[in-house]
Amino acid sequence: MVQISEAELDARISELPPLSPVVTELLKLLNQPSVDYAALERSAVREPTLVARVLRLANSPFFGVSGQIATFREACLVLGSRSLRQVIMAISVMDTLAVDGKLLELRQVWLHALAVAAIARHLAPSQHIDPDYAFTAGLLHDIGKLALAAFFAGPYAQAMAHKRQSGCSLVDAEREQLGFDHGMAGEKLARKWHLPEDLALAIGRHHRPDDAENALVDLIHFADVLAHALEYGMDEGEGEVVPRLHATVWNRLGWDWARIGALLPSLDREARAAGAIEL
């Protein structure tokens, strides 16, 4: 067991390089009340790899216009400025955090994040939450896993081994072996990147929703539990533990199981469609 202090985590996050000038400029443009898409496109073309990835995302079947989006400006209109901002942020974070593929199966992490994002987007209107905002929160909710695997590869490998050997959840293994979980790491990372407060809370508290009492946190908590129950992003053969659904969250959401059961086929379809997205 290697306990890591919160100060050590803060120090590693503070060492992260700044966002590239192009990404910084894009995020600034996307924060404007009225987005100048021509200026956005002029900035984006300076990073062709980023443009290609955004186009690939916009052309995925999940957005219903597969193969029809040819320009960055069209992709912006399909995704919307809010989602585009967070997608660019997600791409930047993933590129910044160099993770050993042998330690953390990145495809499984991405598949789970997409499933949570799709489920959250579908259920968001019932909680008066913008669907695109919910999708973004789901997409980013586990960035703390990438941070821990990148910053503390040895200790994180021990936590993963403890999870497999003991049959406990990953969150419990992280807390026992490291002293904190990927939610805390993700929230700190979100605050470094100046993400909105609700997003930072959803990233940080989706395993501790009673610490926040926030509608977006509750939604991501539920979507995360359901995605695990539907086995999206689970490591094959590892007997992944489905996180516990907090009763207080269920009560705050105000749903009933009959309604969720009726929605399961459509939620499953959306999660599958989202799983085809590649960044």
15-29: pLDDT as tens digits: 887 778 898 899 889
Asked whether the beta carbons of 240 and 228 are under 8 A apart, the reply is yes
pLDDT band per the 50, 70, 90 thresholds, residue 192: confident
- Give domain status of residue 63, yes or no: no
Task: Determine the pLDDT at residue 120.
Answer: 96
Task: Determine the pLDDT at residue 1.
Answer: 64
Task: Determine the pLDDT at residue 221.
Answer: 97
Nearest alpha-carbon partner for 76 in 16, 129, 36, 118 = 36
71-119: pLDDT as tens digits: 988 888 888 887 788 778 777 877 777 676 666 777 788 889 989 999 9
- Give domain status of residue 157, yes or no: yes
In the chain, the number of structural domains is 1
Task: Determine the pLDDT at residue 237.
Answer: 43
Asked whether the beta carbons of 126 and 255 are under 8 A apart, the reply is yes
CA angle 184, 105, 9 (to 5 degrees): 25
Task: Determine the pLDDT at residue 236.
Answer: 43
Asked whether the beta carbons of 62 and 277 are under 8 A apart, the reply is yes
**What is d(CA 49, CA 132) in angstroms, rounded to the nearest whole number?**
24
- Give domain status of residue 75, yes or no: no
CATH number of the domain at 216, please. Answer: 1.10.3210.10
Counting residues of the chain whose pLDDT is more than 90, the rounded percentage is 38
Residue with tokens 């900035």: 43
The gap between the terminal CA atoms of the chain, to the nearest Å, is: 35
**What is d(CA 226, CA 165) in angstroms, rounded to the nearest whole number?**
24
CA angle 186, 220, 85 (to 5 degrees): 60
Task: Determine the pLDDT at residue 239.
Answer: 57
Q: Which residues have C-beta within 8 Å of that of residue 191, sequence separation ≥ 6?
A: 200
**What is d(CA 109, CA 232) in angstroms, rounded to the nearest whole number?**
9
Give, for 36, the enclosing helix (H) or strand (E): none
Domain that holds residue 250: 6-17+100-274
Residue with tokens 């929230």: 187
Asked whether the beta carbons of 158 and 171 are under 8 A apart, the reply is no
- Give domain status of residue 90, yes or no: no
**What is d(CA 11, CA 19) in angstroms, rounded to the nearest whole number?**
17
pLDDT over threshold 80, residue 67: no
Counting residues of the chain whose pLDDT is more than 70, the rounded percentage is 94
Task: Determine the pLDDT at residue 2.
Answer: 66
- Give domain status of residue 60, yes or no: no
**pTM of the shown model:** 0.86
- Give domain status of residue 159, yes or no: yes
- 3-state SS of the chain: helix, strand, coil percent to 5? 70, 0, 30
240-259: pLDDT as tens digits: 688 899 999 999 999 999 98
pLDDT over threshold 80, residue 238: no
34-44: pLDDT as tens digits: 889 889 999 99
- Which has the higher per-residue pLDDT, 111 or 128? 128
pLDDT over threshold 50, residue 68: yes
**What is d(CA 58, CA 55) in angstroms, rounded to the nearest whole number?**
5
Task: Determine the pLDDT at residue 183.
Answer: 96
**What is d(CA 232, CA 3) in angstroms, rounded to the nearest whole number?**
30
Kindly report the average pLDDT of the chain as a whole number: 87
Question: Which is it for the CA torsion 68, 71, 72, 76, positive or negative?
Answer: negative
Task: Determine the pLDDT at residue 218.
Answer: 97
Lowest mean pLDDT among 91-105, 145-159, 176-190: 91-105
How many of the other CB atoms lie within 10 Å of CB of 91?
18
pLDDT band per the 50, 70, 90 thresholds, residue 272: confident
Query: How much is the average pLDDT of 136-161?
Result: 90
218-235: pLDDT as tens digits: 999 999 999 999 988 765
- Give domain status of residue 48, yes or no: no
What would the two tokens of residue 226 be? 């359901």
Helices 182-192 and 197-205: angle between axes, nearest 10 degrees: 160
CA 130 to chain centre: 16
**What is d(CA 262, CA 194) in angstroms, rounded to the nearest whole number?**
38
SS3 263: helix
- Give domain status of residue 38, yes or no: no
